[in-house]
Amino acid sequence: MSTTGKIIPKKELKTIAKKQSASKAKAVEVKRLNKAEKIAKTGLNTRVKGHLKAANKRNQGKRDAAN
């Protein structure tokens, strides 16, 4: 149970959960952007680029299915 001893309504719980998942998603997005920036700055070698391209192709289907 909650430490404060008050019962949180289900509606509030849902909004809290939404906010948390949104911030988590934002964190992931920031991480991705940082990685992309780093790649842009350093210029990855071609082998790694190939791996990234392949990974992107593999995930494309999942992304399309999600949308």
Q: What is the pLDDT of residues 3-21, one digit of tens each?
A: 566 777 778 878 877 777 7
**How far is 39 from 32, CA to CA, in rounded Å?**
11
Asked if residue 1 has pLDDT above 60, the reply is no
What average pLDDT does the chain have? 73
CB 2 within 8 Å of CB 8: yes
Any idea where the domains of the chain sit in the sequence?
Answer: 11-66
- Tell me the one-letter amino acid at 36: A
- Sign of CA pseudo-dihedral 7, 12, 16, 17: positive
